[in-house]
Structure 1
Amino acid sequence: MSELSEQVEIAQDAGTPAVYFDGVSSRRRKVTLGFEDQLEIREDGETPTRWAYAEIRRADSPPGVLRLSCISAPPLARLELRETPLAREIAARCPRLDEHQAGRSGVAKIVGWSVAAAVSILAVIHFGVPLAADRLAPLVPEPLERRIGDAAEVQVKAAFGGRVCDNPAGQAAFTKLMKRLRDAAGLDDTVKSAVLPTTLPNAFALPGGKVYLLNGLLNKAENVDEIAGVLAHELGHLRHHDNMRGIIYNGGTSFLIGLLFGDVTGSSAVIFASRSVVEASYSREAETAADTFAIDLMHALGRSPKPAAELMFRITGKEGGSGFTILASHPLTEDRLARMTKEDRPASGQPLLTTEEWVALKGICGGAGKV
């Protein structure tokens, strides 16, 4: 044994032993160190562990402690000793002590994996979540979807004064119109509908079979086919579960999971759902599919889908699409208008309402209706 090695062991025997963790067990081992051609880590009765000086690296440690690791040792292996002349001696013998273990290639790997993780997250957001929403929305059980719609309905009605328009003659006309639309669409009477008293021109569907027409849109309509085409479009969103898809896609999975476990009335969930369904911004694919549904439905009734597009175009031209209008959630493009115009056909079916019924519908929220 060299003179320096003997001096080091004497210093350790005087009260500064090193502590060694072999990276395999959690046992704390008190060891002595020997400085030969490699650093020797010695424990009584055990074969010395040898670390090449060039492979020893400094590890994170608290103040006053030198913590070392070795590239060729198990990843969790550590040697710890107080900042003493012994520690300084080790530092002097290790030429690459402060070189990061990962090295350049390791850093490149870390950066590469970080970029890959970021790309994966973006891929999930842009592709995985929409795909999951598309697959999950039609699978939501009807009772659960109705519960979501009921919870949102409470907030929706509260936002519009807590009441619905119920003039008897107007309600009879509206019921007749919705029945003709439902029957032609193959939907049953579980689909509920109402007119809400507000000047805002809009119409929307809620999960669980609920369709609402806002009186502001009814006031701007010039004939029943305009309103029928808009309602047919909303029935398309209802049939295709677009609202449920939007709730899942826009971050409402926590709300959906909450409902699955019985949390039906949580205020944050209800507020989120009501905001999502009323202010829904559908994808281009969903809008196109709802347009197709409305076109086919109006044709089945022997009526033209063009009047609905003309109604939306009038609102766009006069209001520029500003404010809370039907255009906020159903943006009308020239392509959509051109498509509905192309699908225009001479009326072959009976009028959806009589002139008197149309006047009554216009006055459903009170006051005399105007044609």
Structure 2
Amino acid sequence: MTALSKYQRLEASALWRDSISGQRRDVIVSLGDASLVITDKNERPLTHWSLAAVQRVNPGAMPAVFHPDGDPDETLELGESETEMVEAIEKLRQVIERRRPKPGRLRIISFLTILTFFAALMVFWMPGAVRDYTLRVLPDVTEQEIGNGLLQELERFTGRACTSSLSTRALDQLSNRLFDRPVSIAILREGVESVRALPGNVIVVSHTLVEDYDTPDVLAGYLLQLNLDNEPRDMLQQMLETAGFMPTFRLLTTGQLPQATLADFAKGLLNNPAAVPEDTLLITAFYEQGVAITPYALARDITGQDTAHLLSAEITRPSSARPVLNDTLWVGLQGICGG
């Protein structure tokens, strides 16, 4: 101990009492190896106190009175002439106290570390974990409710979806013709550039795809662009990421999203086209469903330059295309929005 070496030769006269009923005796006090050594005038050892256990009865007052920790009846009194020894004892007590382990401080540091760890979990890990879990366990019926909710919010900007008795039959037949699952198709007057797949197998379609073309193959081609296995789920994941933790947690626990979440996300879908898959995937879908490719390819690019690969695939197709809708249903569908 560096501080101790400074006072190794220091001695002082003091009064020592071994108990509350004992008489005070003149003694010599010296600093030993991390201890106070108390001897009589003939230098016979009487006792020694560990510096780590020395307590002062009257801090700042003189004469200074000390006792060993846990035994206040045994005292050592140093007078005003022994201020150097008093200062040495106080200095060494301060050094020892600073080096003493602080259980309370350790507990506080441990608590703050644990609190920081859990706060980091809540901020960085928990939202993603809750979102991923919600996507895994979300029932199909809830996804459909979300898709219908988005459609209702879209209709606030686009107007009500077009409908008629004949067009309903046409859309049902078109759905059965192209998809391996029940799909709800809504024709909107505006706000949709071509087609979008919403959660729950809800598809919104621009009215131009039924009003501006002579054949239902164009509409069928745009519908075949959609990947119903991935796009609606990707959209739902994007919606939850945008909404944040609390709406996601509400969806997990109640099966409902806040209306504001649906409204904000629906606004972002306006005139935001879906991604077009690679030509190879599209051609495979056209072949499997027996849909003519040329009308769709020319609808995307009237010159045919950007869709040359699709047009050439029509020539080399392994089997002939089949009608998507009969003329009666197609004519009825073309008039769905009164066009």
The TM-score with structure 1 as length reference comes to 0.51
Which runs of structure 2 are paired with 1:233-312 in the superposition (5 Å)? 233-234=225-226, 236=228, 241-251=233-243, 254-262=246-254, 264=256, 266-275=258-267, 287-288=276-277, 294-312=282-300
Instruction: Report how far residue 249 of structure 1 moved.
Output: 4.3
The 8 Å contact of residues 173 and 353 in structure 1, kept in 2 or not, is answered as: yes
Q: How many Å separate the matches in 2 of 1:359 and 1:211?
A: 21
Across the two proteins, how many residue pairs are aligned to each other?
A: 246
Larger Cα-atom Rg: 2
Matches within 5 A, 1:329-348: 337=307, 340-341=310-311, 343-345=313-315, 346=317, 348=320
> What does 1:155-166 align with in structure 2 at a 5 Å threshold?
155-161=153-159, 163-166=160-163
SS of residue in 2 equivalent to 1:147: helix
Change beyond 3 A, Cα 1:49–1:280: farther
Residue from 143, 149, 152 that aligns with 2:141: 143
Closer, same or farther: CA 302–266 of 1 in aligned 2, 3 Å: closer
| SS at structure 2 position matched to 1:288 | coil
User: 1:74/1:142 Cα in 2 relative to 1: closer, same or farther (>3 Å)?
Assistant: same
Q: CA deviation at 1:140?
A: 2.8
Say whether the 8 Å CA contact 1:137–1:248 is kept in structure 2: no
For the 8 Å contact 1:237–1:243, the answer to whether it is kept is: no
Whether the aligned pair in 2 keeps the contact of 1:152 and 1:274 (CA below 8 Å) is yes
Distance 1:279 1:41, change over 3 A: farther
Consecutive unaligned residues in structure 1, runs of 5 or more: 4-8, 15-32, 43-47, 52-69, 79-116, 318-332
Aligned to 1:359: 331
- Using the size of structure 2 for normalisation, the TM-score is 0.55
- Partner SS, residue 196 of structure 2: strand
Tell whether the 8 Å contact from 1:166 to 1:364 is kept in structure 2 after alignment. Answer: yes
The alpha-carbon distance between structure 1 residues 199 and 267, as it changes in their structure 2 partners (threshold 3 A), is: closer
Question: Within 5 Å, which residues of 2 pair with 1:216-231?
Answer: 216-231=208-223
Q: Which residue does the alignment assign to 1:193?
A: 185
Are residues 313 and 241 of structure 1, via their aligned partners in 2, closer, same or farther at CA, if it must alter by over 3 Å? farther
Secondary structure of 2:228's counterpart equals: helix
Measured on the aligned residues, the alpha-carbon RMSD in Å equals 4.6
Q: Of residues 161, 164, 168 in structure 1, which corresponds to 2:165?
A: 168
Q: Secondary structure at the match of 1:261?
A: helix
Say whether the 8 Å CA contact 2:193–2:271 is kept in structure 1. no
Contact kept, 8 Å, 1:165 with 1:197, in 2: the verdict is yes
Partners of 1:280 and 1:246 lie apart in 2 by 14
Question: Residue in 1 aligned with 2:93?
Answer: 41
| Structure-2 separation of matches of 1:34 and 1:279 | 86
